[in-house]
Amino acid sequence: MDKKLLVIMCEEGDIDEEKLVILGRLTDQAKMRPGDFDLYKLSRQDCLEDFRFSSHQLEILKEALEFPDIMYTDAQNVIPGMEALCILLRRLAYPNRLCDLEKLFGRNRSVLSRCFNQSLKHVHDKFCWRLSTPVQPWISSNTLSLWAETVSQKGSPYDRCTGFVDGTKTEICRPLDYATQNICYTGHKKEHDLKYTGVMTLCGIMYLMCGPEPGSFHDAKLLYRSEILNMMKESRTWPPTPETGYYLYGDQAYKSTPQVVDPVRYNASPLETACNTAMKTLRISVEWGFGKIGNPFFFNKALEALKLGLQPLGMYFRVATLLTNYHTCLNGSQTSNSFAVEPPTLAEYLENYLEDHIDN
């Protein structure tokens, strides 16, 4: 029964408000028509392959991402929250065509498209701010001290290094207009790219991901535009003085500052060369982090599907980064295993996110 008709019947006194609420819920449930999709009929292996999480982890993820029990799209399509989450994960996991997803979810491709876009926007707008600030509740002075000590024990000559910074790129389709083509073109790879700056911690969390920026920009320029260094200067968690402050380690693309240390590039002594070699071995962890984003959520590597101006490409990558961090919280990662540092639990990673967001 149409909800408008129910409201009219309530106004005319044919039904009371209690019956209006009950009939409204029954109407929503009738509209859902979940089709052939039933998460709990899938095996654990199928869940991991299709959604990158087990069915139990999907339940945890649904609560963490605050998906409602019933999601309404802009066109008033009614979809269960768990199914909306699965549509988001399945779409990002591989460059699926919407007609392929119709067979899995039993829904029209237009409904799937609207559900995916709304789920993506919900996650990005509510949670991806966390990828833009170095000040987060789960990172304390004790945490930074532990990370610095771990890096030193792994052979680093630096005793205050707590993470690794680097740039990454995603190749996109050639943009339509010449100006955008020119600014996104990178002569090094001879392709059109969008670039991001990421910071990897020893526990496997890519806790900063800034961008996108045009592919022609240098990594050092990306770091400057990201405001990461200024936020670290102003933070009480990251003391600004070189003697007492913590810093990140980057490759030769970056200039040394109190917040970022780079390799010795010119006239290096044998000791400095050995130092560069030791840090190069440790710095590979940031590449592992970029790889973990791209492999489980391969949609961001599908060149033909990434069209600048037609799709929210930055939103795709940042949401994939956030979901990768959630995956690390639940399953660990190559980086956390290598440094023997446990990642935070999902509850710790999300602790007091609302108050923290307001304060910063």
**pLDDT for the residue numbered 32:** 46
CB atoms within 10 A of CB 343: 23
Measured in residues, the chain has a length of 360
Q: In this structure, what is the dihedral angle of CA atoms 358, 330, 348, 227, given to the nearest 10 degrees? A: -40
Q: Can you read off the two tokens belonging to residue 38?
A: 């039933």
**pLDDT for the residue numbered 179:** 93
Q: Is the peptide bond before 212 cis (omega within 30 degrees of 0)?
A: yes
Q: Is the peptide bond before 80 cis (omega within 30 degrees of 0)?
A: no
pLDDT digits (tens, 9 = 90+) for 117-127: 999 999 999 99
**pLDDT for the residue numbered 14:** 74
Q: Can you read off the two tokens belonging to residue 193?
A: 């790219």
Identity (one letter) of the amino acid at 186? T
The answer to whether residues 332 and 204 touch, using CB atoms and an 8 Å cutoff, is yes
Compute the distance between CA of residue 80 and CA of residue 67 in angstroms, rounded to an integer.
9
pLDDT digits (tens, 9 = 90+) for 324-342: 999 999 999 999 999 999 9
Q: In this structure, what is the dihedral angle of CA atoms 182, 186, 191, 193, given to the nearest 10 degrees? A: -90
Compute the distance between CA of residue 227 and CA of residue 232 in angstroms, rounded to an integer.
9
**pLDDT for the residue numbered 353:** 46
> In whole angstroms, what separates CA 320 from the centre of its chain?
4
Q: For strands 247-249 and 260-261, give the pairing.
A: parallel
**pLDDT for the residue numbered 119:** 97
Compute the distance between CA of residue 167 and CA of residue 218 in angstroms, rounded to an integer.
9
Strand partners, 72: 78
pLDDT reading at 355 higher than 80: no
pLDDT reading at 356 higher than 60: no
**pLDDT for the residue numbered 83:** 94
Q: Which residue has the tokens 């936020």?
A: 231
pLDDT digits (tens, 9 = 90+) for 2-54: 566 766 777 777 777 777 677 666 555 445 455 568 898 899 999 999 999 99
**pLDDT for the residue numbered 28:** 53
pLDDT digits (tens, 9 = 90+) for 193-249: 999 999 999 999 998 999 999 999 999 999 999 888 888 887 777 765 556 678 999
**pLDDT for the residue numbered 2:** 58
CB atoms within 10 A of CB 246: 20
pLDDT digits (tens, 9 = 90+) for 68-112: 999 988 888 889 999 999 999 999 999 888 888 988 898 888 999
Q: Which residue has the tokens 């990558």?
A: 317
Compute the distance between CA of residue 194 and CA of residue 221 in angstroms, rounded to an integer.
14
**pLDDT for the residue numbered 265:** 80
pLDDT digits (tens, 9 = 90+) for 270-324: 888 999 999 999 999 999 999 999 999 999 998 888 999 899 999 999 999 999 9
Identity (one letter) of the amino acid at 61? L
Question: pTM for the full model?
Answer: 0.86
pLDDT digits (tens, 9 = 90+) for 237-284: 776 555 667 899 999 999 888 889 999 888 888 888 999 999 999 999
**pLDDT for the residue numbered 244:** 64
Q: Can you read off the two tokens belonging to residue 263?
A: 């390799």
Which is nearest to 201 in space by CA: 346, 333, 71, 306?
333
The answer to whether residues 3 and 24 touch, using CB atoms and an 8 Å cutoff, is yes
pLDDT digits (tens, 9 = 90+) for 171-189: 999 998 999 999 999 988 8
